[in-house]
Amino acid sequence: MHGTLGGPATIDAAVAPAVRHNRYATVVLLRFLRQPVPMTAAVILLVVMLAAIFAGFIAPADPFQTRVARRLAEIGTPGRWLGGDELGRDVLSRLIYGGRISLAMAILPVAVGLFVGGFLGVLAGYAGGRTNMAIMRAMDVFYAFPSILLAVAIAGALGPGLVNAILALSLVFIPPIARMAESVTTQVRSYEYVIAARLTGASTLRILREHVLSNVAGPILVFASSQVSVSIIAASGLSFLGLGVSPPNSDWGLMLSALRQSIYINPWVAALPGAMIFLCSVCFNLVSDGVRQAMEVRR
């Protein structure tokens, strides 16, 4: 329905109690902490990330140590608590070590996309006109392909390897982030406070730094974080197809590919890397949703 209260509620300065002046970031953080589901997702991600970072201390076994006797061991086997893979290596340790590469392959491309795409998008949005046209049409060319197909095509052209896979994925995430950045920037640029700043004669750089960036950074970051959930799947996809990391190093995608053959023998163990990919993707999505909601600060 329209106009719920017949206008925005206002406070009489004389009547209102003293207002606490919290920084915006503090308010957002407090609001995020109060949401149970995104908070749970954030904790899960934190655990996975810490485990990956400190893999050397946490992993119970050497991930490269093969044991013929433990080939495709069941979950719960002593010394192979989450089972053994086709060469008898410890799946739990491999999952922990693999998380390093999987998470890096998921986050790095989005980080590159955030910087390059964000820069291009803000530039296009603030400059407008022909600059905007040139940048955004170039982005549209990439945007026309499904992201996974594009990543496979680029990685295929560059050849297999971890660096090439990250490079390919980075190229995939530049256009959507640029497009998002362009649209928020175009909107912010039309706001009166930016126009007023332009009227003072301040330099474009100063206006971008003080007025535009602080207002577009939030939405762009949130969007980028939601892209991590796509990126982790795309990254695993590349590895699964052999376009990512090469053995004996392994990430969840490659593990999934290797264990796929044993799916009829030991389906539970074979499903584990897939479950990790799924879990992280969902968690990144939930966290990003939670942040977005926390950022909608209204009175």
Q: In sequence order, which residues have a C-beta less than 8 Å from that of residue 106 and are 6 or more positions away?
A: 228, 231, 232, 235, 280, 284
Provide the mask over 150-189, with x wherever binding to other proteins is found by CB under 8 A and - wherever it is not. Answer: ----------------------------------------
Shortest separation between residue 56's beta carbon and other proteins, angstroms: 42
Size of residue set near other proteins by CB under 8 A: 39
Shortest distance, position 218 Cβ to other proteins, whole Å: 9
Q: Which two tokens stand for residue 273?
A: 């890397």
CB of residue 227 to other proteins, shortest distance in Å: 24
> Within 14-33, which residues bind other proteins (CB under 8 A)?
14-17, 19, 21, 24
Nearest to 101 by CA among 224, 249, 248, 240: 249
Q: Which secondary structure element, helix H or strand E, spans residue 14, and what is its range?
A: none
Of the candidate residues 60, 193, 260, 275, the single one contacting other proteins (CB under 8 A): 193
**Residue (of 280, 241, 234, 238) closest to 260 by Cα position:** 241
Tell me, what DSSP letter sits at residue 20?
P
Q: Binding to other proteins by residue 130, rule CB under 8 A?
A: no
Nearer to other proteins, 39 or 111 (CB): 39
CB of 100 to other proteins, least distance (A): 36
Residue (89 or 189) nearer to other proteins, CB = 189
- 10 is a site residue for other proteins (CB under 8 A): yes
3-state secondary structure of 84: strand
CA distances from 107 to 33, 92, 101, 178, 294 (A): 23, 22, 10, 17, 22
- From the CB of 198, what's the least distance to other proteins, in Å? 7
Sign of CA dihedral 197, 198, 202, 208: positive
Binding site for other proteins (CB under 8 A): 1-17, 19, 21, 24, 191-193, 195-203, 206, 210-211, 214-215, 297, 299
